[in-house]
Structure 1
Amino acid sequence: MPETHAHSLSTSILLVIGVSIIIVALFTRLRLPAVAGFILTGALIGPYGLGWVDEVEAIQLLAELGVVLLLFSLGVEFSIDKLYQLRHYVLRAGIAQVGLTVLICAIGAGLLGYTLAQSLALGMIISLSSTAVGVKILKQREELDSTHGRFAVGVLLFQDIMAPVFMAILPFLPQLQERGLIVAGSKLVFTVVGIAVVYLLARVVVPVVLRWIVVSDTREIPVLGSLFIALLMSYITQSLGMSAALGAFIAGIIISETPYSHQITANITPFRDSFLALFFISVGMLVDLPYLQANWGTVIAWTLSLMALKSLIVVGIGLAIRRPLRVGLLAGMALANIGEFSFVLMEQSRSANLLPPDLVNGLVVGTSLSILLTPLLLAGAYRLLARATKRAHWLSRLRAAHESHPELRDHVIIVGFGLNGRNLANLLRDLGQPFVVVEMNGALVREAQKQGIPVIYGDAAHPEILQAAGVEHARAVVIAVSDPISTRYTVRAVRELNPTVYIVARTRYVAEIEPLYAAGATDVIPEEFETYIEIAGRIMRLLGVENETRLQLMNQCRARHYQVLQETEEGVFAN
């Protein structure tokens, strides 16, 4: 390699890394997605921007490694258990969201004059949402276990499954356009057979290689071995005329079935994140800033229209699977963007000359804008729901018939038939105390009915459901669900219908205590803090503290409404 070329490449990489650190650090301070910061970096220093980077092709070559490692890690982290836990959302909502989005967008693109192959490519690109952004926002708000969080994560899991499938199908779309359905279909079948053969052979070879790698005492060998397996599978599938990223995904799935998956994930994560950052920067370098300047109004209008379409599809699916409207709205906002895997499909479309360059430019900018807008739109949706639910209950509507229990008096209403709700119901039945369960999960409702437990199917945040449970005459309401948003709405609805009823609200986090008391809860039981009290009690017993003193200290801690944690230096509500 000539010295001048090496110097130029070093200079380009230094500029890319340096500028990206500054921009992404600024985006992090503003709580904006890092992906958008990397894309902005590429747009600014790329050939259509300031033109500081000369070695664009070399950077794009490194960026391809990021895609390979991304698919490899996706395969390694592939969890059958997680899919099973969210199977109702993955199999119903996920299939419906991807299928409807591809269909509607393909029909719309066809009406605009695009070919069948181009229309299908656009549908695939638009159907995917950003897993990184969606999960990060829900995790920051501690809502991964909420109803809308499980809804969104279930759909994102199915999209992650479909991403490598789309990457395998997309290269055949130009052949569909040029040679017809029969030729393209036969080649696709051949590809599927090839993938199956590669997978079966790899299932035999990869575990043997892994066992040899992990027994080494040298730290570098497991790291290099993990990278070698990912790149080797990519090379094999690429040599067979298939996607390189698909081979890495197959290798990841095989490794996910071995005991070494967690360590391998830890080994490749730094490499994956670094090369993936280069991938997003290389995508930003494709942004034609003069084109964007001339067509910014059109790009923004189309981006907002597509985000609205994706949100409406999710809302409609939510209503179809009998989830409250507010759940569909929040999940729809989290899924409204176009995701990081869409960039990979765009790059494939550009390389295959499937989509016009101007359209790819618009898609890159629109996708970046949608990712940037997601946290802002979701925050706006929370504020809108908080205001709307104080005056109207249509946001909690659930289209379902429910059995009424007007004869109940001085009873306990249990909201949620999970582990806590089930145990409480069994206790009350043993004590001979009247109670009724309100549950929104159809499987849990059927389980309660099998056990002879009185149950109402519906959303407890809706007044009509609470009235069917006899809330006006209830002695107590126990809210035992893990969804913080639903818990808050339910507390408010119960308090409006019965100002004197005793309301016990379960929450996972101490940060939810004050909002729940403000909504009208009589007592709040945070699992996070109760765990601390139980640990402290056992330590005091180990240290020989008398039972009376130990119980007194524990009760004082509860009576102070958790001031022990609130008086820490940063404060428990700092997050």
Structure 2
Amino acid sequence: MTEPSQAFLIRDGVVMLGAAIGSVLVFRRLGLGATLGYLVAGALIGPQGLGLIGGAEAKLGIAELGIVLLLFLVGLELHPNRLWRLRRDIFGLGLVQVVACGLAIAGVIYLTTGFSPAASLALGLPLALSSTAQVLPMLQSAGRLNTPAGERAFSVLLFQDLSLIPLITIIATLSRTPPVPGAPPGWLLGLYTVGAVVGLVLAGRFILNPLFRLVGNMGERELFVAAGLFTVLAAAAVMEMLHLSTALGAFVAGVMLADSPYRHELEADVEPFRTILLGLFFLAVGMLLDLQVVMERPLFVIAMAVAVVATKSIVMFGVARLFGVPSRAALSFGLLLSQGGEFAFVLFAQAQGALLIAPEAASLFGAIVTLSMATTPFLMMFSRRFLTPPPTREDRPGPDGSISPAAIIVGYGRFGQTVAQMLLAAGVRITLIDRRVEQIDVAQKFDMKVFYGDGTRIDLLRNAGGADAQAIIFCVDGNGLDKAQLQPILEAFPKAAIMVRAYDRLHMMSLSKLDLAGAVRELFESAVLLGRETLDRLGFSPENVEMIETEYRRRDGLRLEAQIASGDVTVNREMMFNHERSLDLSTEPQAEQNHGTR
């Protein structure tokens, strides 16, 4: 019995992966995105297509772990500083968008289909959510994720991801199914939810961080991966035992670790599992699509997909204008997020299980979501061609492709100016890029040509001569540059040495995962120089000052190497100097007495 089942499992795996690879390659080449490729591949190989594979329901149950991991990664993104900076767009624009679009689409469904109010709401609210899996990769590949428009879209998508949990609760409240025997009443579930969240937060503070510190000190990569997956699955399992959302547990686990020194390592370790399982989820959803039902009512599917895209675009345009977004940017924002999203399939399944909609309706509206996703790339082409704002007097020219520098410097503040002066002193031909208009105007007074633009955009770097440049140096302020921004640049410009100004030790640790030519902490050298001058003023001999600097640099370098290897910022802390641990300066007895050295 075991051998045939193993054979079927291997055969199913080969068929699913083969179909996914082929379909995603085609859809990526057409610019339609991987999500749509997975859905079409599932429909093609499923029982309603070629009938190559079955058991979609069982595979969907396993693949829902992809949703759990996605919510965990969303939680990891909620670093307190970023959350606070984007709070207006996340909790203001995001909330109003979900409510307004959900109610508007539910109204369209109720008026045009004759569904009950509960069924219309169960279908309309999920359609208010957009596709994070489709939109974010599009913004990243275009270099627009860290622009104001990109951050606005990210904020709304983040709120939409968070709203999955209350939407599941709303559908459960509308459910027509009889109560599950032994299931707790609603008020008790509310208490369970609060208690579980508090318990998970406490577990993160007193259990998870010490656990990751212990694993990090051991330096075992496989053990760190296992610990990360254990965290996600354990949090989800606790919620499942309490009859709560497993996605909520994973999200809380992510938030617990968002401010942890292990966040970047966890993201890198969990991301491959999330990608594979989420792809399997979309495959299983495609397999569940009842193509016969869709073919019986093709005009309804097309008309409703158009209605969803149009309704969301109009409502989002109005909401964005309400929040002060200019008209062209508001319309572009509405078109970008006008499609249905992957969480709609999860909520349709919940609504079907709650007896709010029939299986045929779930298949029809699943097809509507799929078709709406297919419109997004074409709407973005329209947006770029016709909705790009015309230049104003405040605009500054960007690189025009007519220059071939040896080095490109991104960021011409106090740090970039020093780097530029050193390169110019050696006769190196450079191109300067900055997105601050006032900085560009000041540079002109010193006969320095600085181009305007976002230096993380690949198309802009190409226009700046990045394909032939020997070095691209990022001298921007803060710790905003991360793997998601730098990895595409490394791949696009393999000939150039990519150098980065790092914000602090944690930023250096996160950058170590990239194949950079070099990274320098922005205040390190100036702080060492100030320390030398202070020791000189305190009367220490030049020999001892030199010895102190050399030993500090040696220890700091060893600590940084160990921290990068382990992912733990506290490793080798015993190498740090303190009042009990200092150097033996035997040639300076007076200094030893005054400064407590041994």
Fold shared, TM-score > 0.5 on shorter chain: yes
What residue number does 1:86 align with? 86
Distance of 2:463 and 2:288 partners within structure 1:
54
Q: Which secondary structure does the structure 1 equivalent of 2:297 belong to? A: helix
Distance of 1:321 and 1:37 partners within structure 2:
35
The Cα of 1:109 is off from its aligned counterpart by 4.2
Residue 391 (structure 2) pairs with residue 490 (structure 1): yes
Distance of 1:78 and 1:164 partners within structure 2:
16
Residue 149 (structure 2) pairs with residue 148 (structure 1): yes
Q: Deviations over 1:408-447 (max 9, x none)?
A: xxxxxxxxxxxxxxxxxxxxxxxxxxxxxxxxxxxxxxxx
Contact 1:8 1:55 in 2 (8 A): no
Contact 1:75 1:256 in 2 (8 A): yes
CA RMSD of superposed structures (Å):
3.7
What residue number does 2:53 align with? 53
Distance of 1:166 and 1:152 partners within structure 2:
20
Distance of 2:290 and 2:431 partners within structure 1:
66
What residue number does 2:301 align with? 299
Contact 1:303 1:366 in 2 (8 A): yes
| Paired residues for 1:171-570 under 5 Å | 171-174=172-175, 186=187, 189-203=190-204, 204-385=206-387, 485-486=388-389, 489-491=390-392, 494=393, 505=396, 510=399, 513=400, 528=410, 535=419, 537-539=421-423, 541=425, 545=426, 565-566=464-465, 568=467
The one-letter amino acid paired with 1:338 is: G
Distance of 1:372 and 1:553 partners within structure 2:
39
The one-letter amino acid paired with 1:69 is: L
Q: Deviations over 1:170-206 (max 9, x none)?
A: 3343169989xxx975355344334434434433433
Q: Which secondary structure does the structure 2 equivalent of 1:258 belong to? A: coil
TM-score (norm 2): 0.66
Q: Which secondary structure does the structure 2 equivalent of 1:505 belong to? A: coil
The Cα of 1:161 is off from its aligned counterpart by 2.1
The one-letter amino acid paired with 2:396 is: A
What residue number does 1:104 align with? 104
Contact 2:23 2:37 in 1 (8 A): yes
Residue 28 (structure 2) pairs with residue 28 (structure 1): yes
Q: Deviations over 1:39-64 (max 9, x none)?
A: 11100001111110134344223312
Q: Deviations over 1:102-140 (max 9, x none)?
A: 222334444554345433322320111112322222333
Contact 2:200 2:235 in 1 (8 A): no
Taking structure 1 as reference, are residues 567 and 101 closer, same or farther at Cα in structure 2, changes over 3 Å only?
A: closer
Q: Deviations over 1:7-58 (max 9, x none)?
A: 1111011100011101101111111110000011100001111110134344
Q: Deviations over 1:202-234 (max 9, x none)?
A: 334333433333333322111111111111111
| Paired residues for 1:8-47 under 5 Å | 8-47=8-47
Per mean C-alpha deviation after superposition, the further-off stretch among 154-163 and 361-370 is: 154-163
The Cα of 1:260 is off from its aligned counterpart by 1.1
Taking structure 1 as reference, are residues 80 and 370 closer, same or farther at Cα in structure 2, changes over 3 Å only?
A: farther
The one-letter amino acid paired with 2:391 is: T
The one-letter amino acid paired with 1:234 is: A
Distance of 2:420 and 2:290 partners within structure 1:
61
Per mean C-alpha deviation after superposition, the further-off stretch among 329-338 and 89-98 is: 89-98
Per mean C-alpha deviation after superposition, the further-off stretch among 361-370 and 551-560 is: 551-560
The one-letter amino acid paired with 2:50 is: L
Segments of structure 2 that go 5 or more residues without pairing to the other structure are: 403-407, 433-445, 453-460, 473-488, 494-598
The one-letter amino acid paired with 1:35 is: T
The one-letter amino acid paired with 1:159 is: Q
Taking structure 1 as reference, are residues 210 and 564 closer, same or farther at Cα in structure 2, changes over 3 Å only?
A: closer
Contact 1:557 1:563 in 2 (8 A): no
Contact 2:45 2:53 in 1 (8 A): yes
Distance of 1:552 and 1:80 partners within structure 2:
37
The one-letter amino acid paired with 2:236 is: S
Distance of 1:380 and 1:296 partners within structure 2:
25
The alignment covers a number of residue pairs equal to: 442
Distance of 2:448 and 2:81 partners within structure 1:
38
What residue number does 2:163 align with? 162
Distance of 2:319 and 2:175 partners within structure 1:
32
Q: Higher helix fraction: Structure 1 or Structure 2?
A: 1
The Cα of 1:293 is off from its aligned counterpart by 1.4
Q: Deviations over 1:443-486 (max 9, x none)?
A: xxxxxxxxxxxxxxxxxxxxxxxxxxxxxxxxxxxxxxxxxx55
Taking structure 1 as reference, are residues 569 and 251 closer, same or farther at Cα in structure 2, changes over 3 Å only?
A: same
The Cα of 1:2 is off from its aligned counterpart by 1.8
Contact 1:175 1:184 in 2 (8 A): no
Contact 1:101 1:127 in 2 (8 A): yes
The one-letter amino acid paired with 2:151 is: R
Q: Deviations over 1:240-291 (max 9, x none)?
A: 1112222111211112232211111111111111111101100101111111
Distance of 1:490 and 1:565 partners within structure 2:
19
The one-letter amino acid paired with 2:422 is: R
Per mean C-alpha deviation after superposition, the further-off stretch among 335-344 and 307-316 is: 335-344
What residue number does 1:123 align with? 124
Taking structure 1 as reference, are residues 117 and 62 closer, same or farther at Cα in structure 2, changes over 3 Å only?
A: same
Distance of 1:69 and 1:255 partners within structure 2:
14
Taking structure 1 as reference, are residues 310 and 177 closer, same or farther at Cα in structure 2, changes over 3 Å only?
A: farther
What residue number does 2:512 align with? none
Contact 1:90 1:158 in 2 (8 A): yes
The Cα of 1:91 is off from its aligned counterpart by 3.0
The one-letter amino acid paired with 2:302 is: I
What residue number does 2:4 align with? 4
Q: Which secondary structure does the structure 2 equivalent of 1:363 belong to? A: helix
Distance of 2:53 and 2:24 partners within structure 1:
18
Taking structure 1 as reference, are residues 211 and 43 closer, same or farther at Cα in structure 2, changes over 3 Å only?
A: same
The one-letter amino acid paired with 1:319 is: R
The Cα of 1:70 is off from its aligned counterpart by 1.5
| Paired-residue identity, % | 31
Distance of 1:108 and 1:553 partners within structure 2:
53
Contact 2:396 2:451 in 1 (8 A): no
Per mean C-alpha deviation after superposition, the further-off stretch among 130-139 and 264-273 is: 130-139
The Cα of 1:100 is off from its aligned counterpart by 0.9
Per mean C-alpha deviation after superposition, the further-off stretch among 40-49 and 198-207 is: 198-207
Distance of 2:293 and 2:395 partners within structure 1:
58
TM-score (norm 1): 0.68
Per mean C-alpha deviation after superposition, the further-off stretch among 61-70 and 108-117 is: 108-117
Taking structure 1 as reference, are residues 557 and 45 closer, same or farther at Cα in structure 2, changes over 3 Å only?
A: farther
Distance of 1:243 and 1:563 partners within structure 2:
46
Distance of 2:142 and 2:240 partners within structure 1:
41
What residue number does 1:481 align with? none
Distance of 2:151 and 2:316 partners within structure 1:
13
Q: Which secondary structure does the structure 2 equivalent of 1:354 belong to? A: coil
Contact 1:506 1:527 in 2 (8 A): no
Contact 2:104 2:311 in 1 (8 A): no
Segments of structure 1 that go 5 or more residues without pairing to the other structure are: 386-484, 495-502, 516-525
Distance of 1:383 and 1:101 partners within structure 2:
26
The Cα of 1:540 is off from its aligned counterpart by 5.2
